Amino acid sequence: MIHSYIKGIGKYLPDNVVTNQDLTKYMDTSDEWIQERTGIKERRYAHRTEETTTTMAVEASTIAIERAGLTPQDIDFVVFATLSPDYYFPGCGVLLQRAMKMKEIGALDVRNQCSGFVYALSVADQFIKAGMYQNILVVGSEKHSFGLDFSTRGRNVSVIFGDGAGAVVLGATTEANRGILSTHLHSDGEMAELLAMYNPGTHANHWLEQPLADFDQAEIGEMFMSQQMLTKGQLYPFMDGPSVFKKAVVKFPEVIQEALDHNQLKVTDIDMLIPHQANLRIAQFVQQKLGLPDEKVYNNIQRYGNTTAASIPIALCEAFEEGRIQEKDLVCLAAFGSGFTWGSVLLRW
């Protein structure tokens, strides 16, 4: 039976370190508040003009492809997860294909925010299992720093997020008991607006009482992007933090247990849990609920903040580079975020 395994992995973090203290220059916050509520001490911000979501992805992908013993021309397909794309459209997948001079392969963009990498990996896994592709580049990359509200108004969101990229080459194998054992994906759109960036978007039509035909072109344009959106901060992400937190601490353990049950494994079989780095307090809550010891949970949010779709591949890469993951280890990846969406991947390294 063909299945997929991680053949190469890479990460990229911008050099620019931004401490909690640095953020106090722009907003009413404190190192103490941020560390107590989130565990974050510092994060990285991309160079404003020289780095983009795609250029960071190129850096991470180059390492992943090299470690897989391949060249960019060997890649059969790209799956790119991000919520901070270079353009509204086209997606970053094609920009990565161009920048890395890959063949005219398919490039798919995934928009599942914090669960983006888990969703992307699951999609790539299905293509490989079906025998369609041999080597798929799966990327998570974010340049949050360009789209955050650095005034006190946006402090509950802005202090959390950081920039970076992670990538894996997912390859095909027939070796038993190696690679991805299962993926589980979920969503509940009931709370879609609790963690969202509404504008620019096409949603305005949905709330209108008058038919669109009654509006002139300028008014319709205003619904997409307006000066009011700019002045009222409506072009920034919105998050109802406590609601996200409450749901996350339930769904993380649930989807991890689902993965274990599916494979007839137990929590004690997990060698390394890599939770999406949303908030250290969420990860600690999940760890406690599952009864996992510290050495079996990898966290680096303290240094990088929440890098959304990039957080799992960055953490996985770092754990691998530090020798915390060994061959045949059972590794569990789990994510929860905007949508709400959540999911898990169980794999044998």
Contacts with ligand UT7 by CB under 6 A lie at: 29, 33-34, 37-38, 114, 155-156, 159, 195, 241-242, 244-245, 248, 278-279, 282, 306, 337
The answer to whether 343 and 183 are in contact (CB under 8 A) is: yes
Q: Give the whole-angstrom CA distance, residue 140 versus residue 311.
A: 8
Closest-approach residue to ligand UT7 (CB) = 241
- Asked about 317 being catalytic, the answer comes back as no
Beta strands in 188-262 (DSSP E): 195-196, 238-239
Handedness of CA 316, 321, 325, 328 (dihedral sign): positive
> Do the Cβ atoms of 59 and 68 come closer than 8 Å?
no
Taking alpha carbons only, the member of 30, 26, 27, 50 closest to residue 41 is: 30
Nearer to ligand UT7, 128 or 345 (CB): 345
Q: Which position among 276, 279, 300, 332 bears the catalytic label?
A: 276
- In the complex, least distance from residue 46 CB atom to ligand UT7, rounded to whole angstroms: 18
Using CA atoms, how far residue 185 sits from 121, 169, 255, in Å, is: 11, 21, 8
Q: Is the Cβ of residue 195 or residue 290 nearer to ligand UT7 in the bound state?
A: 195
d(CA 189, CA 53): 26
Looking at beta carbons only, is 215 or 238 nearer to ligand UT7?
Answer: 238
C-beta atoms surrounding 219 within 10 Å: 12
| Smaller CB separation from ligand UT7, 145 or 279 | 279
> Cβ of 34: how many Cβ atoms within 10 Å?
23
Q: Is 276 a catalytic site residue?
A: yes
For residue 242, say if its preceding peptide bond is cis, omega within 30 degrees of 0: no
Nearer to ligand UT7, 82 or 97 (CB): 82
Catalytic residue among 112, 135, 199, 306: 306
Quick check: is 206 catalytic? no
Shortest separation between residue 40's beta carbon and ligand UT7, angstroms:
9
CB of 224 to ligand UT7, least distance (A): 26
Catalytic residue among 3, 112, 114, 299: 114
Helix (H, G, I), strand (E, B) or coil at 89: coil
Q: E strands of 122-245, at which residues?
A: 135-142, 164-173, 179-187, 195-196, 238-239
Least gap, CB of 156 to ligand UT7 (angstroms) = 4
Closest approach of Cβ 157 to ligand UT7, in Å? 7
Q: Based on CB atoms, which residue is closest to ligand UT7, 77 or 119?
A: 119
Pairing relationship of beta strands 341-348 and 330-337 according to DSSP bridges? antiparallel
Shortest Å distance, C-beta 154 to ligand UT7: 9
| Distance in Å, CB of 185 to ligand UT7, minimum | 16
Using CA atoms, how far residue 339 sits from 190, 192, 198, 218, 299, in Å, is: 8, 5, 12, 31, 23
* Closer of 146 and 150 to ligand UT7 (Cβ): 150
Residues identified as active-site: 114, 276, 306
